[in-house]
Amino acid sequence: MKKGNTYTGYVEYVDFPNKAYVSAQVEEDGVKSVETAVVKNAIPGQTVSFMVNKKKHGKCEGRLLEVIEQADCESNERCPHFGLCGGCVYQTVSYDNQLKMKEKQVHKLLSSVIEGDFCFEGITGSPVSEEYRNKMEFTFGDEYKDGPLALGLHKRNSMYDIVSVLNCKIVDEDYRKILECVLEYAVQEKLKFHHRVTHEGYLRHLLVRKAVKTGQILVDIITTTEDDRKLNDLSEKLQKLELKGKLVGFLHTFNDSLADAVINQGTEVVYGRDYIEEELLGLTFKITPFSFFQTNSLGAEVLYSKVRDYVGLKKEDLDDNSKPVIFDLYSGTGTIAQILAPVAKKVIGVEIVPEAVEAAKINAKLNGLDNCYFIADDVLKALDNIEEKPDFIVLDPPRDGINPKALDKIIAYGVERMVYISCKPTSLIRDLEILQSRGYMVEKSCCVDMFPNTVHVETVCLLSKKP
């Protein structure tokens, strides 16, 4: 295959997260051969056309151009943004087949590094596969250079173009109404979006959070300080929307940073309050705009139930002397810590985002838990300053996994068992190799699908010290 050339091929299989291996017939100087290229966003069984955009050491990578023939597991049911939007990849695939694909991909990854036998318990699906998200970050921009204002998600394979996802299927109707209302307001007021190259313009992002159990909605518009306008008129428009949920707060966050990300450099409450409340497994959690909380509330109940099972402690089997000290590292708003609190003498959560830690403290008090303690610090630094020693450790790191130096400190505690939760299996297997080389073994593992229609999946591993 030659860089810049277009080929047609058959998708043999897909490795996590979306690396499709495509076999194509190639003819050069009258000689025919079959070569393989890695093409993102394709599905096993498809026939696709692709352009080779990278070739190094004999390996080819291509960009998907067109699906010429669908796979047997696909249907034509899809949202109008599918293919343009960079969000969903598996939307045309039945949910049962999505689960099978993810299960196979993760099992293959784990089997490539796990030493000896381990119990792989397969995958558990999300209770709902559409309209499941409790948080969305939309971006202002244009659908093409110098085009009309758009508000939505990044176009696939583009850093700049934005698709106005007014019919997105992974959020419910309330999100779509809010998005349309804010976009109409911005167009009427002739507001400019913040350009990622010139760094000029006003509108940056729209953040919407909605609790599934309580129906509470929080809307936050993120802008630069280029315009000092008040947004009371937009607030009134949002309050007049006929929503299934209830708008409890409208916020205005300021961000003049150069980074193309939602960064809080100050927030003003325009209407209501700056948080929503969600319920998980009988506990109540206060969620602020920028604190981490699983984006699929019903799926989170499945995930945390699995974690609780893997920890394996039962309240009725424990007295005060036998309850363990548990470390919940990368604890976010303290959901796992509070779910494990009834079987622990003490739970210490460590999280680098101060806002999330404050929310965790409030949540623990809200739930009447007096044995949860939360520290706002990097895990790497925090472990040097905690006097207690853990009996059990729960790890739920960000996508890139655990800092190797922090992992050294975690291993040094020598706990008999720990649970590792990962939203990126490729980071997980890197850390598992280190853990195994330092005396731990994987007893069992499973997947929980928190992100239907996308390539992502959560993985849970129970580790114990080798005999």
Catalytically active residues, by annotation: 423
First to last CA, the chain: 51
Burial class for 305, CB neighbours closer than 10 Å (0-12, 13-18, 19+)? middle
| Dihedral sign from CA coordinates of 278, 283, 289, 292 | negative
Evaluate the omega torsion of the peptide bond into residue 404 and state whether it is cis, within 30 degrees of 0.
no
Beta carbons of 42 and 74 less than 8 angstroms apart: no
301: Cβ–Cβ under 8 A, 6 or more apart, which residues? 127, 280, 281
Beta carbons of 271 and 311 less than 8 angstroms apart: no
Phi, psi of 303 (to 5 degrees): -60, -50
Whole-number Cα distances in Å, 398 to 90, 143, 331, 395, 402? 23, 31, 10, 10, 8
- How many angstroms separate the CA atoms of 386 and 412, rounded? 14
Number of residues that this document lists for the chain: 467
Closest CA to 41 of 67, 79, 80: 67
Whole-number Cα distances in Å, 264 to 138, 207, 255, 347? 15, 12, 6, 29
The DSSP-derived string for 115-179 is -S--EEEEEE--S-SSS-BSEEEEEEEESSTT--EEEEEEBTT-SS-EE--TT-SSS-HHHHHHH
- How many angstroms separate the CA atoms of 306 and 1, rounded? 46
Beta carbons of 71 and 10 less than 8 angstroms apart: no
Pairing outcome for strands 417-422 and 392-395? parallel
Matching residue, tokens 């790890």: 395
